[in-house]
Amino acid sequence: MAYAAALRALADPTRRAVFERLSRAPASVGEVAAGLPVSRPAVSQHLKALKRAGLVIDRSEGARRVYQLDPDGLGELRRWLDQFWDQALEAFKHELEQPKTLRGRRKS
Amino acid sequence: MAYAAALRALADPTRRAVFERLSRAPASVGEVAAGLPVSRPAVSQHLKALKRAGLVIDRSEGARRVYQLDPDGLGELRRWLDQFWDQALEAFKHELEQPKTLRGRRKS
DNA sequence: ACAGTCAGTAAGCAAAGACTTACCGTAAGT
DNA sequence: ACTTACGGTAAGTCTTTGCTTACTGACTGT
């Protein structure tokens, strides 16, 4: 059920920015905060949420604390999504074969 | 940028329940609401959010309105996730080669 | 036309949550 | 030891949001 925490964590734009920042390179809390329009404690709280979701891990490096991505949470999210992917595709194809009044926004 | 809306949509437990319900079989608003502990208008609002996120489509079927999954939003989410997957794996492997003080919660 | 069903919208409320500032540990340097 | 840098936590505020109960509109059948 950790995918729930991962989804909640990645739903917030700022937290997503933190996550994407760490995807480029591991960084400390201060380094991450320096590139964002929010305070350092805010980033610290976001990192705590990301860590509980299994999306990042941290290691102590002297007085600093370096964060980087953790494949665990990401992998669980991927598996959860894939669970619906095939069903969605097949159901959608089946829909196209019987063209009733489609109301969804189609991309093209 | 639709993955943002998809993440926001799937972050809510109730909305996720609606989504998972539709993944089993297309259903009307009332049918979905019948299986959930919330009111029908609540489900209607959730479906609106899911639709805007490109996660579901709906078709009019008489007075009813049948919803089903839309591969679009799901696919975009998958692509967004995969963007980080390889980086996370490689960074993590690199971490294991230099075993400093790992502080993340490991699964085993 | 009228009654019944289905579903989207409006308004309002209460809970969640994303920020801030202030404070308190901890580690390294002089 | 003192100072400085770094980072997590507490407390408080303000916005967001998920829910409810109305209400309104649309379609179907008698």
Look at A70 and B104 and tell me if their CB atoms are within 8 Å. Answer: yes
> What's residue B96's pLDDT?
57
Q: What pLDDT digit, counting tens, does each position of B23-49 carry?
A: 999 999 999 999 999 999 999 999 999
Selected residue with higher pLDDT from A5 and B85:
A5
> What's residue A30's pLDDT?
97
Q: What pLDDT digit, counting tens, does each position of B62-72 carry?
A: 989 999 999 99
Tokens standing for residue A88: 């969605």
> What's residue B97's pLDDT?
53
HEC readout, B12-79: CHHHHHHHHHHHHCCEEHHHHHHCCCCCHHHHHHHHHHHHHCCCEEEEEECCEEEEEECHHHHHHHHH
d(CA A14, CA A68): 16
What is the average pLDDT across A40-46?
A: 98
Tell which residue, A20, A8, A65, A100, has the closest CA to residue B10.
A8
Best A22, A81, A82 residue to mutate vs chain B (most B CBs within 10 Å): A81
Q: Is B94 on the interface with A (CB under 8 A)?
A: no
Best A14, A57, A65, A79 residue to mutate vs chain B (most B CBs within 10 Å): A57
Predicted TM-score (pTM) of the model is 0.87
d(CA B27, CA B30): 8
